A = this chain, B = another copy of it.
Amino acid sequence: MLDLQTGENLARGLYPGAATSDERNLAIGSLDCTHRLYPSDTELIRYGRSDYFAFIMEKGWAFSHRSLKSGSRQVTSIYVAGDLIGFSRGSRAERHPADASVCTVGAARVAEVEPDLLKRTLANQPTLAQAILQNEARVSAILQERLICLGRRSARSRIGHFYLELSVRVSNADIGFTNRFACPLSQYVVSDALGLSAEHLNRVLRQLRLARLLQVRNGHVEILDRHRLGELSDFDPGYLSLK
């Protein structure tokens, strides 16, 4: 059973729209899953394999990525507590291979869901299916926003945009956006997420620090001037809405 005590962060991922915890209980309760703790750098899903589970990030960080023949790597998603991983699997063919690898950053607690069970539950519980579809829509919106960054925005904008997005996603929507948060992502991961070289990311981070806009240091992100940084990055958090 899912531990409903894990609170809002978990519920957020599955039932963003649910008004009452009863509603959440209804469908969450029928999803059998196993809680696990994984150490840093654990590969939760490997690209190309079809025998992976679906996960709910309960605590910690992870990212999905693909490595190319050229040796370079593209990070395609960042996962924080409350995010769902691989749930669209519940609608696809048994043998459909994973389209990216997923890897933890720092120790992580996850809830694993067996794909067969997920599929069967989905077929019986329209509420769950709809919630997962809604989540998928938000994930697509995030992906699209990153695409826009990589296609048409400068390194400065991308970087500002990236950390602003993270600040919203790690915040509890009820208490507003946090301007300071822990973030274990190395510059290598971030640069591969933004399609930049680690060196250039580093350089531009320095610029942003000197401009008193953003400070990334010691695994902590501090947004020094949210307004100006948002302006500079053309950041509009609308696409992150959970509804």
Q: Which residues of A does B touch, CB under 8 Å?
A: 17, 66, 68-70, 72-74, 76, 88-93, 96-97, 99-100, 122-127, 129-134, 136-137, 139-141, 143-148, 150-153, 192-195, 234, 238-239, 241, 243
What's the Cα separation between A34 and B122 when bound, in Å? 29
Of all A-B residue pairs in the complex, the 3 with the closest CB atoms, nearest first, are A151-B195, A88-B137, A93-B243
State the copy count for this chain. Answer: 2
What's the Cα separation between A194 and B126 when bound, in Å? 37
Identify the closest chain B residue to A72 (Cβ).
B152
Shortest CB-to-CB span from A95 to chain B, Å, is 8
Q: A76-B148, A91-B134, A151-B192 are in contact. List 15 more A-B contacts (CB 8 A).
A: A66-B148, A70-B152, A73-B152, A88-B137, A92-B137, A97-B238, A123-B126, A123-B127, A133-B136, A136-B136, A136-B140, A140-B143, A150-B195, A151-B193, A151-B194
Most B C-beta atoms less than 10 A away, residue of A72, A90, A144: A144
Shortest CB-to-CB span from A215 to chain B, Å, is 25
What's the Cα separation between A89 and B140 when bound, in Å? 12
Specify which of B70, B90, B137, B234 is in contact with A91 (CB 8 Å cutoff).
B137
When distances are taken between beta carbons in the complex, the residues of chain B under 8 Å from A74 are 147-148, 151-152
Q: In the complex, are the beta carbons of B139 and A140 less than 8 A apart?
A: yes
Most B C-beta atoms less than 10 A away, residue of A133, A192, A193: A133
